[in-house]
Amino acid sequence: MPKLDLIHWGYWLTFGWLFSIVLFRHFTSVDPAITGLFYSPDAGFPLGDNALLNLLREWIWDGAIVVFLVAGLAWFWVARRRSLWGRGFGGGTLAGLSNTGWRAIFGTFLLGPGLIVNGWLKSFSGRARPANTTLFGGDKQFSLAGDFTDQCASNCSFVSGEVAAGTALAVTVWFVTAAVPYAWLRASLRGLGLLVPAFVIFQRVATGRHFPSDAVFAVLITATIAWAFAVAHHVVRATQK
């Protein structure tokens, strides 16, 4: 597991959760106002038909599935090599990450985009997608982020699975690049990694598929899971000393 500033990471997550809850739950016009920037009464959400944006989104989603599977294999492979050969024979890491690092990446994908987002929230939240609400030409009622309603039967708006997957990819880049010796290169790669969820957020909101709050809470959920894995690892290591 790479060295991370878990305290500051935790502070930013706490601030992000509190700020987002207050913003989207108490200032109810924020979600429709931002989404409305991309809506036209005559054309709907024009960017929804943009082939390039949709193709890039599909590539990112497919890439997330590949990274998820690779992380699971890497976790097993490194753990197996370590148990057989030990650290002294090169069995301790892969791409700079130990088996706990790969386990954290695999677990972040599994719990974030997998079970919590797509398995639970998107299946049972019932929040209608923006394009399906009466605010933007549909026949469903707008509901606040976090409210469980009956406006959507399945694959609902809250929260965004693609944004959660993009965030997990950014977490992967952040972990893997911890072993990069040059600070400028490490910062550049991490900056590129952050562009992935940023693009997905734009694409999902601009095409009327998700409200901004769907994207923000998807980021928070996934980043919090990754932080929890990192904290658990360091707590276990501290107790073993």
Strand partners, 133: 140
Q: How confident is the model at residue 99 (pLDDT cuts 50, 70, 90)?
A: confident
What pLDDT is recorded for position 1? 56
98 vs 238, residue with greater confidence: 98
What is the distance between the alpha carbons of residues 55 and 148, in angstroms, rounded to a whole number?
A: 31
Mean pLDDT of 147-156: 95
Name residues whose C-beta falls within 8 Å of residue 221's C-beta, 6 or more positions apart in sequence. 112, 116, 117, 159, 164
Name residues whose C-beta falls within 8 Å of residue 155's C-beta, 6 or more positions apart in sequence. 122, 123
Percentage of the chain exceeding pLDDT 90: 78
Mean pLDDT of 107-113: 97
The DSSP letter of residue 28 is T
What pLDDT is recorded for position 4? 66
Query: 108 is in which domain, residue-wise?
Result: 6-240
Q: Is residue 1 part of a domain?
A: no
Mean pLDDT of 53-79: 95
Nearest to 41 by CA among 138, 142, 139: 138
Q: How many domains does the chain have?
A: 1
Asked if pLDDT for residue 44 goes beyond 50, the answer is: yes
Write the DSSP assignment of 37-50 as a string of letters. TT-BTTTB-GGGG-
Q: Is residue 84 part of a domain?
A: yes
Asked if pLDDT for residue 29 goes beyond 90, the answer is: yes
Mean pLDDT of 43-71: 96
Mean pLDDT of 200-223: 98
Chain mean pLDDT for the chain:
91
pTM score of the predicted model: 0.91
Lowest mean pLDDT among 43-47, 72-76, 82-86, 90-94: 82-86
Mean pLDDT of 204-212: 98
Instruction: Determine contact, residues 220/17, Cβ cutoff 8 Å.
Output: yes
